Amino acid sequence: MRMMKALALLSFALAASAWCARFGDAAMPPPLERMRNAITDEQRKASAALRKSSLGKMGAQDYGGATLNNGQLATVCPPAAPGGTPDYFNCGNFANSPLPEVVGGVLTGGMRKFVDTLPGVGPQNANNLGQYIPIATADQGTYPGSDYYQIGLVDYTQQMHSDIPPTKLRGYKDLAGGDGKAHYLGPLIIAQRDRPVRIKFTNQLGANAAGSLHLPVDKTVMGAGMGPDGMNEFTTNRATIHLHGGDNPWISDGTPHQWITPAGENTPYQRGVSVQNVPDMPDPGPGASTWYWPNQQSNRLMFYHDHSWGITRLNVYAGEAAGYLLTDPVEEGLIDSGVLPNLGGVYRYGVPLIIQDKTFVPTPKQLANQDPTWDSAKWGGFGNLWFPHVYMPNQNPVMEDGMNPFGRWHYGPWFWPPVMPTHGPNPDGTPGVPVPSITVESWLDTPVINGTAYPVLQVARRAYRFRILNASNDRMFNLSLHYVDPEHPTEVRMVPFKKSLAVPSHYPPADSREGGIPDPTLLGPEMIQIGTEGGLLPEAVSIPSTPVGFDRDPMSMTVLGIKEKGVFLGCAERADVIVDFSQVPEGAKLILYNDAPAAVPAGDYRNDYYTGAVDRSDWGGAPSTQEGYGPNTRTLMMFVAAGPAAAPFNKAALEAALPAAFAASQPPLIVPEGQYVRLHDQFISVSTAVGSAPVSLWMEQKNISEEIEPEYGRMYATLGLNHNIANFNQENMIMMGVNDPQTEIVKDGETQVWKITHNGVDTHPIHFHLWNVQLINRVDWAGTIKPPDPNERGWKETVRMNPLEDVIVALRPKLATVPFELPRSVRPLNPAEPIGSRMGFKNMDWQSMPIVVENRLTDFGYEYTWHCHILGHEENDMMRPVAIEIMPTTATITGVSLGPTWAQINFDEPLMGGATWMNYTVTANPGNIIATRGAAMQAITDQSASSITVHGLTTGIPYTFTLAAANRVGQTVTPAFGPATPTAVPDPPFNVVATAADGAAVVRFDAPADNGSPILSYTVTSGPDVRTAAGAGSPITVPGLENGLAYYFTVTAANANGESAASAQSNTVIPTAGPLPPTNLRVATAANNYAVLRWTDAAVNEQGYTVEWSADGGATWNPAGTTGANASYFRLNGLGSRTKYLARVQSFNANGASAFTSAVTVVTR
């Protein structure tokens, strides 16, 4: 972020100084080039000259040559091994499509323009190469009420231009009809509103090595390399299908983790962690998946394409994309009434123009001179698809000027401030980037429309409806129509753009740009745009042919950003346009022209290929493009008008009908026209539901950041969050990666407004899965409000977001109705790492505070995503998950821990329904006593054990407990758990009374309340001299006391919960010694019914004597009576005659009794 702050200020200063220095007719610098690279084309040229001079001085071999004007290279690369380490400083490592060569003074080879016709829809509209876009075959019987398709994915070849051999491609195939072959950009699905489409998708690529992708794969890209077991890599034959722009249930959205491999693939990773088949369709088995697309939307052109984690850009470039045309009754009515042109048959809904840019592998000689490390054996040779695979740094620290003229992107360790990545520069001074490496973008050199390079379409002299899709990986287009130069019939006539040039009023001011502009006297017809990727526009927009223009106000925060434009399409944007050829002369030729910079807005001239351009092969670009040949990214295709002229198109009828058609087919807009958000606004007044009163709604703060990635030091971009209130003294932007926990949470039908701050230098086409957005306005960082372009009004699902601007969009997602219950998306945050790993996360919370994020199973609710649709950005971390929040699952109470007045409820946390927070409520009954607790993102991502304590319970009362888990959608409640009774230690015993004994005391007490848990024992403690004794109940004798000392006693009770407090003290007692027992016990008299016992009184402190007798030999003893003190005899009465008895005597006093004497025998007469 610190880098981008510096870069933003630098770009402003450079752009402003450049404009102030040279105005009007003076040549302006390349638009915003210094914003992106801070290196101009002239600087690169000078650096290239310095490089050659330095090589000569060092005695090194100079591979350079003279600058030529015949399409041949001025500089060639040193030899290198295919697949080997590139030479970063003496070679561009960037190939061009086949270039023409001069042989005998004649150009030969290369790729001629406008020699092949446009592939149309259906075999009846095949071009001269046999190419066409087939219509998929619908099965309407297997699933009544639905259209069912069987789509396969295969490798195949198709010739995309007459001057190159067939190209190896990877794409979709209709398995239920057609000619049994795959066709580029097919099969086209034509669907109807509210009629679902069901698909069985089968990955028919080769298994294992046979299915390897024929393009360079950087295995350091997340999802393209090692899997979570640390031993097996993700394969490159993975595939999925994402209906771009559809209202798909999440299980059929085709998000990055919903890929499958072919059946028989030898890998532990045969399907992505988010793959879910359609519940009411049969399981298709290995290597296949099922899909359900509801089509509960208005008419629009969509497309389905790959979205596999880590290889999306490669799969799409290889051909995994096809059209999807959704119709509705409103559109049918406009066609039937003649408001919209109807070409009939397969073109009832218009002619598709799917525009891409590609580079084709050149001849071996040219390839060796431009990109010697390209591995033709692995990736394909002449005529196959070429793709950038070398990360070329802008810097060369050993050079006098510090520059690498061949460079294309900044390298962190050599940038300022330096970013030292985990893998820094190599010891030999080369950048420590992977080989092959992902590049920030892939600017390619050849336009391909409907699968053919530089095609020609013959048109009748009438109005046409074109359904235009920018399906390029990274390139944007500014489209206009121009008559060909009569003297050069394959070209658009270019004229210097000087103030003296007469131009239409909608043109930008003159700026003397390199190459000039198309001759304004040869302007073709305007394009009338009636729709975007979001369906029909609220009004028709007439867009005349307009050269791209740039903000030339030196005080503007976005100076030299894109301003004037024609039909401008970012990646994945669509334009539904009408072109009236009725006034075009018979036989006239028109060229569909593009002059958008690449990148936007800070273009690098090496990415702008046009006839007569400067030879840039000395600094990694192409030689000058020759007339009639490629590479050329400006002249895309040609139209040739033929036949009689029809009546002019009724534009007025269209303008009158379109507002009603928009209202009939589209949801109402959220924010009224003309209500704009200012730079520092935090709230917006908006109706959160149709017909509701406006409320003040907080705007969600998001951001776009461009930085240096920390692993290898390459440039990349991210989406993230902003602090709620920006502050100059803090980092306001929190960068987030695709694997970080979800922060975009939306409920079904909820209205949100997002304010997305762009702190970077590229325009990013941001695509939203599931929902469309309303672009409210843009506002630059100087506070200038920029309303949407007229053709951006209405609904969009891909929005261009420009540097140093805030973009404000309103959204109101609506889940489609489906005939089955949806599961929820539960997956690891980072499927490439094992559970518990802390690798691959930004470890930052929404306040820029460091946190620890672990890879956990996470409930995303219904999972979608939003991302940049520059594919080189999308899977280089410029993508974030989106959770459609749903009800949480029901928690599970696992147990209750009880206290005297509280209970701890232990439970397994539920799945959170996609939310990042949740409230828990425990309710105890009787009494409806509650306790609540919130839970944060990292605490509840994986059903971990947790607990809540409820207080205020009554000891001894049985309670039942329920646990409610709630997010913004609602709550779930557990069944009642229990009953469970809170318990405590007993109360203290009471009424404690002590009685002295000889060396002891007998303690009696009353039992206390047990407080819900039975009393297990009592403990008596003496004081002050401590002695203890335990027992099960009262009384308890405390032995071991010292006679003559005073003692008091306390008692405690114990149960399972512990010991009570001590009782109040007892009375005080003094133990004394007991009396001695009598001696010499004898029978003095034995009569027939009594006996007289005598003994010697040995005691001096007795209070009396106790006499006992036994008739069973001493087994049992019976009391006979007691005497007073000093007695020496006792009459034993009540005996039987002639009976034998035993008798014994003991003395006693207040402290106890002596031992009994030995028994004597009594025999009566």
Bridge partner residues of 766 (DSSP) = 799, 868
Give the residue from 946, 980, 1014 where a domain finishes. Answer: 980
- Say if 331 falls within a structural domain: yes
Q: How far is CA 542 from the centre of its chain?
A: 39
Token duo for residue 803: 């540097």
Q: In whole angstroms, what is the distance from residue 544 CA to residue 539 CA?
A: 16
CA angle, residues 1024, 1027, 1033, in degrees to nearest 5 = 115
Q: Would you say residue 12 has pLDDT above 70?
A: no
The residue to which tokens 């000093």 are assigned: 1126
SS3 665: helix
Cα distances (Å, whole numbers) of residue 417 to 7, 183, 708: 10, 49, 10
Q: How confident is the model at residue 917 (pLDDT cuts 50, 70, 90)?
A: confident
Residue 38, pLDDT score:
57
**Do residues 722 and 860 both lie within one domain?**
yes
Residue 335, pLDDT score:
99
The residue-averaged pLDDT of 59-80 equals: 54
In eight-state DSSP terms, residue 331 is H
Bridge partner residues of 961 (DSSP) = 924, 977
- 48: Cα within 13 Å, side-chain hemisphere: 27
Query: What does the buried/exposed string (b/e) look like for 250-273 if buried means 16 or more CB atoms within 10 Å of the residue's CB?
Result: bbbbbbbbbbbbbeebeeebbbbb
- Say if 127 falls within a structural domain: no
More confident of the two residues 33 and 374: 374
Q: What residues contact 67, with CB distance under 8 A and at least 6 apart?
A: 74, 615, 618
Q: In whole angstroms, what is the distance from residue 227 CA to residue 1086 CA?
A: 108
Q: In whole angstroms, what is the distance from residue 905 CA to residue 921 CA?
A: 11
CB atoms within 10 A of CB 880: 21
The number of folded domains in the chain is: 6
**Do residues 933 and 998 both lie within one domain?**
no
Query: What does the buried/exposed string (b/e) look like for 149-177 if buried means 16 or more CB atoms within 10 Å of the residue's CB?
Result: bbbbbbbbebbbbebbeebbbbbbbbbbe
Residue 404, pLDDT score:
95
- Say if 667 falls within a structural domain: no
- 823: Cα within 13 Å, side-chain hemisphere: 12
What are the pLDDT digits (tens) for 534-549?
Answer: 999 999 999 999 999 9
Q: How would you class 84 by CB atoms within 10 Å of its CB: exposed for 0-12, middle for 13-18, buried for 19 or more?
A: exposed
In eight-state DSSP terms, residue 193 is T
**Do residues 424 and 553 both lie within one domain?**
yes
Written in H, E and C, the secondary structure of 857-898 is EEECCEEEEEEECCHHHHCCCCEEEEEEECCCCCCEEEEEEE
SS3 937: helix
**Do residues 410 and 555 both lie within one domain?**
yes
Token duo for residue 1049: 């006693």
- Say if 807 falls within a structural domain: yes
**Do residues 525 and 604 both lie within one domain?**
yes
What are the pLDDT digits (tens) for 604-619?
Answer: 999 999 999 999 999 9
116-117/189-192 β-pairing: unpaired
Residue 72, pLDDT score:
60
Q: How confident is the model at residue 58 (pLDDT cuts 50, 70, 90)?
A: very low
Contact at 8 Å (CB) between 508 and 550? Answer: yes
**Do residues 802 and 871 both lie within one domain?**
yes
Radius of gyration of the chain (CA): 45
SS3 54: helix
Contact at 8 Å (CB) between 331 and 340? Answer: yes
Bridge partner residues of 61 (DSSP) = none
What are the pLDDT digits (tens) for 190-231?
Answer: 999 999 999 999 999 999 999 999 999 999 999 999 999 999
Q: In whole angstroms, what is the distance from residue 79 CA to residue 96 CA?
A: 17
| CATH number for the domain harbouring residue 919 | 2.60.40.10
Q: DSSP characters for 686-754?
A: E-SSTTPPPEEEEEEEEEEEEEE-TTT-BEEEEEEEE-SS--TTS--EEEE-TTSPP-EEEETT--EEE
More confident of the two residues 19 and 1141: 1141
Q: Would you say residue 816 has pLDDT above 70?
A: yes
Token duo for residue 660: 């009603």
The residue-averaged pLDDT of 167-172 equals: 99
SS3 335: helix
The residue-averaged pLDDT of 690-713 equals: 92
**Do residues 479 and 585 both lie within one domain?**
yes
Q: In whole angstroms, what is the distance from residue 876 CA to residue 710 CA?
A: 12
Q: How confident is the model at residue 17 (pLDDT cuts 50, 70, 90)?
A: very low
Q: In whole angstroms, what is the distance from residue 982 CA to residue 996 CA?
A: 40
Q: What's the chain's average pLDDT? A: 92
Give the residue from 933, 962, 980 where a domain finishes. Answer: 980
Q: In whole angstroms, what is the distance from residue 540 CA to residue 339 CA?
A: 12
From 141-145, 441-445, 515-519, 889-893, the region with the lowest mean pLDDT: 889-893
Residue 810, pLDDT score:
97
**Do residues 537 and 607 both lie within one domain?**
yes
Q: How confident is the model at residue 840 (pLDDT cuts 50, 70, 90)?
A: confident
**Do residues 731 and 835 both lie within one domain?**
yes
Q: Would you say residue 671 has pLDDT above 50?
A: yes
- Say if 666 falls within a structural domain: no
Cα distances (Å, whole numbers) of residue 544 to 297, 494, 525: 30, 18, 7
Residue 19, pLDDT score:
38
**Do residues 298 and 406 both lie within one domain?**
no
SS3 1163: strand
What's the pTM value of the predicted model, to 2 decimals?
0.85
Q: In whole angstroms, what is the distance from residue 853 CA to residue 857 CA?
A: 12
DSSP H/E element including 52: helix 41-57
The residue to which tokens 């979800």 are assigned: 742
Q: Would you say residue 316 has pLDDT above 80?
A: yes
Token duo for residue 1031: 């027992």
- Say if 125 falls within a structural domain: no
Contact at 8 Å (CB) between 587 and 884? Answer: no
Smallest CA-to-CA distance from 457 within 127, 121, 122 is with 127
Residue 731, pLDDT score:
63
User: What does the chain come to in residues?
Assistant: 1165
E strand residue ranges, 88-204: 100-103, 106-109, 116-117, 147-158, 167-174, 189-192, 197-203
Residue 789, pLDDT score:
98
Q: In whole angstroms, what is the distance from residue 61 CA to residue 48 CA?
A: 15
Contact at 8 Å (CB) between 637 and 456? Answer: yes
What are the pLDDT digits (tens) for 105-136?
Answer: 889 999 999 999 999 999 999 999 999 999 99
Give the residue from 349, 368, 399 where a domain finishes. Answer: 349
- Say if 164 falls within a structural domain: yes
Q: Would you say residue 975 has pLDDT above 70?
A: yes
Residue 461, pLDDT score:
98
Cα distances (Å, whole numbers) of residue 619 to 46, 47, 57, 527, 768: 9, 8, 19, 38, 38
- Say if 636 falls within a structural domain: yes
Q: In whole angstroms, what is the distance from residue 20 CA to residue 33 CA?
A: 16
Residue 26, pLDDT score:
33
Contact at 8 Å (CB) between 148 and 142? Answer: yes
Q: In whole angstroms, what is the distance from residue 556 CA to residue 1102 CA?
A: 119
Backbone φ and ψ for 200, nearest 5 degrees, come out as: -105, 115
Strands lying side by side in the sheet with 635-645: 116-117, 455-461, 635-645, 589-594, 477-483, 567-569
The residue-averaged pLDDT of 801-806 equals: 96
CB atoms within 10 A of CB 10: 14
CB atoms within 10 A of CB 554: 15
More confident of the two residues 552 and 348: 348
Q: With pLDDT > 90 as the criterion, what percentage of the chain qualifies?
A: 82
Residue 43, pLDDT score:
85
Residue 69, pLDDT score:
39
Report whether the peptide linkage leading into residue 417 is cis, meaning its omega lies within 30 degrees of zero: yes
The residue-averaged pLDDT of 1019-1034 equals: 95
Residue 116, pLDDT score:
99
**Do residues 701 and 844 both lie within one domain?**
yes
Q: In whole angstroms, what is the distance from residue 553 CA to residue 509 CA?
A: 11
Q: Would you say residue 14 has pLDDT above 60?
A: no
The residue to which tokens 């998708």 are assigned: 201
Residue 71, pLDDT score:
52
The residue-averaged pLDDT of 44-60 equals: 66
**Do residues 177 and 98 both lie within one domain?**
no
Q: In whole angstroms, what is the distance from residue 223 CA to residue 833 CA?
A: 10
Identity of the residue numbered 817: T
Start-to-end Cα distance in the chain: 123
Q: Would you say residue 13 has pLDDT above 70?
A: no
- Domain span at 1091: 1079-1163
Contact at 8 Å (CB) between 343 and 432? Answer: no
SS3 352: strand
The residue-averaged pLDDT of 916-931 equals: 91
Identity of the residue numbered 734: I
Written in H, E and C, the secondary structure of 294-316 is CCCCCCEEEEEECCCCCCHHHHH
| CATH number for the domain harbouring residue 685 | 2.60.40.420
